[in-house]
Structure 1
Amino acid sequence: MKKKLLLLTALLMVFVLAACGSSDEESSDGGAGEESGDKPVITFGVTPWTSTVPPTEVASLILQDMGYQVEQTQADAGNVYIGLSRGDIDVFMDAWLPAHDVYLDKYSENIESVAVSYDDADAGWVVPTYMEDFNSIEDLLGKEELFNNEMYSIEEGASATGIIDEMIEDYGLEINQVNSSEGGMIAQAMRMMQQEEPVIFYGWRPHTMFSKFDLKFLEEDRGHFDSASVEVISNNELKENAPDAYEFLSNWTIPIDDVEYMIEQIEEEDREPTEVAQEWIDNNQDLVDQMLGN
């Protein structure tokens, strides 16, 4: 009996040692593989603007197909750029230049523009087309009371709101900027347009407001709101940490009309952003392949 117990004990020890050796070898090999083969999580900054969603969702799906995990951090523009500069956020798909030049200059040592998403994105003060006598900013002078001395805008702290304040001062307008969320601004303007009341608010393309309402930009010739170039921004670590992702984003491009269509599908048709983004990828595989360098 003692001999049998000793034999069983010896065999058990052999199996344990073999298992430990195998485990150590796998751990050593696996660790190296993970270090060299695993891809980092890529974090997108997402501002509370409808224009940010479609390109972010499309790029996220493509990166996931490339083997990356992706996350999204919701924040206003200022905090997105802070996150980029600290390395907490890797990519922002909706930088509006020159309006966002202030951020690029401030954090130039830590972030960079890697691609132009689309050009000729208009932004500025808009009014409904039934206001036939108002076609430029100068037309507002002396008539501010018709608007209760107010114009409606997006969240305080966005770069556009600073430009709007500069415009008010530059043109000598007796108008106060009333800040709210994008949705709150649109809801207030909608209520007033339903009654065909005078109203001014901040508008931009791509956005569904131009398909939902008859609007026009007020002309201004002092360069406060030139046509924007919408660009992709990354932190400086992305190129080293995820070179193939960086290469893809460097080749990024998307038509402004496609972005506007996707916004409409998400906002008006109540479709899931990932579904709309995947549909765009499926319908534009040649462009996707081009961005991937295939």
Structure 2
Amino acid sequence: MSQHLKPSVRITGLALAVAGAFAATGAQAQDKGTVHLAYVEWSSTVASTNVMQAVLEQAGYEVETSALSAAAMWQSVATGDTDALLAGWLPTTHEDYYARLKDQVVDTGVNLDGTKLGLAVPADSEASSIADLNEYQDDFNGEIIGIDPGAGLMRLTENVVDAYDLDLDLRTGSGATMTAALGSAMDRDEEVVVTAWTPHWMFSRWDLKYLDDPQNVYGGAEQIHTIVRQGLEEDMPEAYAILDNFNWNPEMMGEVMLMNQEEDSDPYENAKQWVEENQDVVSEWLPES
């Protein structure tokens, strides 16, 4: 389990400006305890987790974060080793995790609507459907570039390979290795097919398209849910309320994800900047005083 800790109180102009909104004095902030967030290192989840970290810290909590595999992320909340995750892709991507652990966790609801899963290729590719991939397999070097093997997207893509009887190999890796391979292919103007999801910054950086999925193996649009441990509402009602109220849209998340792609940028510092510049949105996540 990889952890990094952030200090709970930062006396900045921003903290002072929103102190009333958070109803937290410096003395109160020291007494609120620690919220432990689990996340998987997908660009979308890095964005949402850092934004929530910044918000909870301004509310007076210390925040710890742990980067885990998707399966371990869910398990850590179910066992109470961590308090919450912001990356519950339902009803399809994480359906196995949810089915197994739903009686051990609390689903507070949707934090982002309008997601999509599938296979993406350059927009000018001759392939337009997953069913076309065998015809153009040589163009794609006989492979689909995937992400971490424990991801729900990879499980679905394995089903896609079977359903469409594809002759392409599904390569495992990570979100970072997938986008690196995609970027290299796009720079060389070569064909490439990758496991993809929306929201993701790659659709802003490169001209891509999803392949049609006539068998609907990937399913329709999904939603991202906030999942918390049992007992959090009783132990930390204010923190629970903030997590419960957290809701944004793909455009907002996309802003943060693009900031995170800048050279030498710090996702945590970017999240703090986004929170500072979007206080009207953040105020809606705070419990009423």
> Do both share a fold (TM > 0.5)?
yes
Query: Secondary structure of 1:93's partner?
Result: strand
TM-score normalised by the chain length of structure 2: 0.84
Structure 2 distance, partners of 1:289, 1:143, is 50
Query: Secondary structure of 2:156's partner?
Result: helix
Q: Does 1:93 align with 2:89?
A: no
The equivalent position to 1:172 in structure 2, one of 145, 149, 165, is: 165
Range that drifts further, 273-282 or 99-108: 273-282
Q: Does 1:266 align with 2:260?
A: yes
Q: Does 1:46 align with 2:53?
A: no
4+ long deviations beyond 4 Å: none
The equivalent position to 1:279 in structure 2, one of 273, 280, 283, is: 273
Distance verdict in 2 for CA 1:158–1:58, change over 3 Å: same
Q: Does 1:150 align with 2:143?
A: yes
Structure 2 distance, partners of 1:148, 1:198, is 8
CA contact (8 A) 2:238 2:287 kept: no
Name the counterpart of 1:125. 119
Q: Does 1:63 align with 2:56?
A: yes
Structure 2 distance, partners of 1:243, 1:50, is 29
Greater helix proportion: 1
Range that drifts further, 59-68 or 270-279: 270-279
1:59 deviation in Å?
A: 1.3
Opposite residue 281 of structure 2, the aligned amino acid is L
The equivalent position to 1:161 in structure 2, one of 154, 162, 165, is: 154
Query: Secondary structure of 1:193's partner?
Result: helix
Distance verdict in 2 for CA 1:205–1:269, change over 3 Å: farther
CA contact (8 A) 1:53 1:273 kept: yes
List alignment gaps of at least 5 residues for structure 2. 1-29
Query: Secondary structure of 2:159's partner?
Result: helix
Aligned residues: 257
1:116 deviation in Å?
A: 1.2
Q: Does 1:199 align with 2:192?
A: yes
Distance verdict in 2 for CA 1:274–1:48, change over 3 Å: closer
1:263 deviation in Å?
A: 1.0
CA contact (8 A) 1:130 1:196 kept: no
Q: Does 1:244 align with 2:238?
A: yes
CA contact (8 A) 1:126 1:200 kept: yes
Query: Secondary structure of 2:246's partner?
Result: coil
TM-score normalised by the chain length of structure 1: 0.82
Name the counterpart of 1:220. 213
Range that drifts further, 133-142 or 214-223: 133-142
1:143 deviation in Å?
A: 3.4
Q: What percentage of aligned pairs have identical amino acids?
A: 29
Name the counterpart of 2:133. 140
CA contact (8 A) 1:96 1:230 kept: yes
